[in-house]
Amino acid sequence: MAPMTPLAGLAWLLVFQSAGEALSHAFGLPFPGPVVGMVLLFAALFHPAVRAPVAACADFLLGHLSLLFVPVGVGVMTHLGLLEDYGLRILAVIALSTWAGIAVTALVLKGGRRRTAGQDDAGLR
Amino acid sequence: MPDFVELWVYLSSSPLFGLTATLAVYVLAQAAYVRLRQAPWANPVLWSVAVLATGLLLARVPYPTYFSGAQFIHFLLGPAVVALGWPLWQRRAALRARWGRLLLAAVAGGATASASAVALAWAFGLPREVVLSLAPKSITAPVAMGIAQAIGGVPALSAVFAVLTGLVGALTGRYLFALLRIPTDADGWMARGFALGTASHGIGAARALQVNPDAGAYAGLALGLQVVLASLLMPLAFRLL
């Protein structure tokens, strides 16, 4: 059983992705199939028969998550013309907006912590 | 040596080439990253992409030929998004305890990243399809491509922008957090990881995971939340515009 576990986990992930794609298409949902699959998986994880194999596969897959971005990243070579024309501006937009997003997220969480130490910790209970 | 040329032409047009090159280059880049004590600038995605794109351009191998092999790795992004349900499920207690604040941070951070990108791109006079392709750049690449399709952007461009966004977060996050005086205690790691996952998705999360396990878990949570929030809200927001 043990050596089969990660493989069974991959099978589960693909089953939930397929179910997600099917639901997303059938009902015209605004979510992509894998997102619906993620929500379905979350519910299914309460069952131990799903949990053990999915844990083994998901930890491996997510541990190498950055590899999965390499093929699309290499696609940058097909947009060199666009980057030649607008590259600096695009980079500036990406850097500034990413910093803004990180800063706002981190400060909301930091601010929340200070407030809970002070007056209202109703949100915690 | 015509035999060598013939052999190269044969090998470089086979799907085996793209798959082998991607894995081999990434494994080397990852080893170098570990050897360099995981310095942000040694990011394995950055160097893999740079080496592969340069190599393909020099060898005159077209991207579709490369992708015919690399697609087998690319395909795993779908199951990987599904797999994000697992770290979410593991943190369901923390999620239940702090869902209000985390949701607020996710909505505020995600909206800031997307709206500021669109506003800046528009102000800088970038073409319309580039502006729309920049909107979902903080969402993990496969979902960003789907959202770009839905709002009138170019999916391939969004994917590249998403990778660049991830790299900006992974490379500069540490310095930004120091500037903002985010501490390195338990709550600080939560804020750092959650912020990286929110604004720079899987690549930021991969970086967070290497720096601190709690930061990594919250980054996974954040990127999962962004996926759900953005695929629900972004097509709605652009339908209203």
With cut-offs at 50, 70 and 90, classify the pLDDT of residue A102.
Answer: very high
Contact B85 A109 (CB under 8 A): no
* Domain end among A67, A88, A109: A67
At B192-234, the pLDDT tens digits run 999 999 999 888 988 898 888 888 888 988 988 898 899 888 8
Q: Does B103 touch chain A (CB under 8 A)?
A: no
Contact B120 A93 (CB under 8 A): yes
B13-37 b/e (C-beta count within 10 Å ≥ 16 → b): eeeebbbebbbebbeebbeebeeee
Does A125 fall in a domain? no
With cut-offs at 50, 70 and 90, classify the pLDDT of residue A120.
Answer: very low
- Mean pLDDT is lowest, of B3-7, B35-39, B147-151, for B3-7
DSSP assignment, residue A68?
Answer: G
At A121 the pLDDT is 40
DSSP assignment, residue A75?
Answer: G
With cut-offs at 50, 70 and 90, classify the pLDDT of residue A76.
Answer: confident
Does A123 fall in a domain? no
Mutual orientation of helices B63-74 and B15-35 as an angle, nearest 10°? 70
Contact A102 B53 (CB under 8 A): no
Find the closest chain A residue to B145 by CA distance.
Answer: A32
- Mean pLDDT is lowest, of A43-57, B5-19, B151-165, for B5-19
At B232 the pLDDT is 84
Does A106 fall in a domain? yes
Say if residue A11 is in the same domain as residue A54.
yes
Does A124 fall in a domain? no
Contact B79 A61 (CB under 8 A): yes
Alpha-carbon span A63 to B91, nearest angstrom = 17
Say if residue A13 is in the same domain as residue A62.
yes
For residue B204, the SS3 value is helix
- Tokens 């007056």 belong to which residue? A119
DSSP assignment, residue A65?
Answer: G
Assess whether pLDDT exceeds 90 at residue B169. yes
- Compute the half-sphere exposure of residue B175: CA atoms within 13 Å on the CB side of its CA: 9
With cut-offs at 50, 70 and 90, classify the pLDDT of residue B19.
Answer: very high
Name which of B136, B108, B134 is nearest B120 in CA terms.
Answer: B134
As for how many domains chain A has, the answer is 2
Q: Does A70 touch chain B (CB under 8 A)?
A: yes
Mean pLDDT over A76-81 rounds to: 86
Does A72 fall in a domain? no
Does A30 fall in a domain? yes
Picking from B106, B124, B235, the nearest residue to A93 by CB comes out as B124
At A79 the pLDDT is 85
With cut-offs at 50, 70 and 90, classify the pLDDT of residue A101.
Answer: very high
For residue B167, the SS3 value is helix
Say if residue A13 is in the same domain as residue A63.
yes
At B174 the pLDDT is 92
> B103 vs B146, which has greater pLDDT?
B103
Its domain, for residue A24, covers 2-67
Q: Does B151 touch chain A (CB under 8 A)?
A: no
B81 and A34 in contact (C-beta within 8 Å)? yes
ipTM for the whole complex: 0.86
With cut-offs at 50, 70 and 90, classify the pLDDT of residue A125.
Answer: very low
Say if residue A59 is in the same domain as residue A16.
yes
Name which of A50, A28, A72 is nearest B75 in CA terms.
Answer: A72
Say if residue A35 is in the same domain as residue A57.
yes
Name which of B218, B89, B79 is nearest A48 in CA terms.
Answer: B89
At B110-129, the pLDDT tens digits run 999 999 999 999 999 999 98
Contact B86 A55 (CB under 8 A): yes
At B2 the pLDDT is 61
Alpha-carbon span B27 to B98, nearest angstrom = 38
Name which of A77, A35, A6, A75 is nearest B73 in CA terms.
Answer: A75
Give DSSP secondary structure letters for B163-203: HHHHHHHHHHHHHHHHHTT--SSHHHHHHHHHHHHHHHHHH
A38 and B82 in contact (C-beta within 8 Å)? yes
Say if residue A10 is in the same domain as residue A59.
yes
> B239 vs A59, which has greater pLDDT?
A59
* Domain end among A44, A67, A90: A67
- Tallying the residues shown for chain B, one arrives at 241
Alpha-carbon span B13 to B1, nearest angstrom = 19
Say if residue A24 is in the same domain as residue A63.
yes
Contact B137 A94 (CB under 8 A): yes
- The residues, ordered by sequence, that sit 6+ positions from B57 with a Cβ below 8 Å of its Cβ are A77
Q: Which of B58, B86, B158 to mutate to test the interface with A (most CBs of A within 10 A)?
A: B86
Assess whether pLDDT exceeds 50 at residue A117. no
With cut-offs at 50, 70 and 90, classify the pLDDT of residue A3.
Answer: low
Say if residue A20 is in the same domain as residue A62.
yes
Alpha-carbon span B207 to B173, nearest angstrom = 9
At A116 the pLDDT is 47
Pairs of residues, one from chain A and one from chain B, whose beta carbons lie less than 8 Å apart: 310
A95 and B165 in contact (C-beta within 8 Å)? no
Two structure tokens written together for A91: 């980079």
Say if residue A63 is in the same domain as residue A12.
yes
Which residue type occupies A64? H
Say if residue A103 is in the same domain as residue A50.
no
Q: Which of residues 202-241 of B touch A (CB under 8 A)?
A: 202-203, 205-206, 209, 220, 222, 224, 227-228, 231-232, 235-236
At B59-73, the pLDDT tens digits run 999 999 999 999 999
Residues in chain B with CB shorter than 8 Å from the CB of A99 are 168, 172, 176
Say if residue A49 is in the same domain as residue A92.
no
Residues in chain B with CB shorter than 8 Å from the CB of A56 are none
Mean pLDDT of chain B: 89
Say if residue A20 is in the same domain as residue A52.
yes
Assess whether pLDDT exceeds 80 at residue A66. yes
At A123 the pLDDT is 39
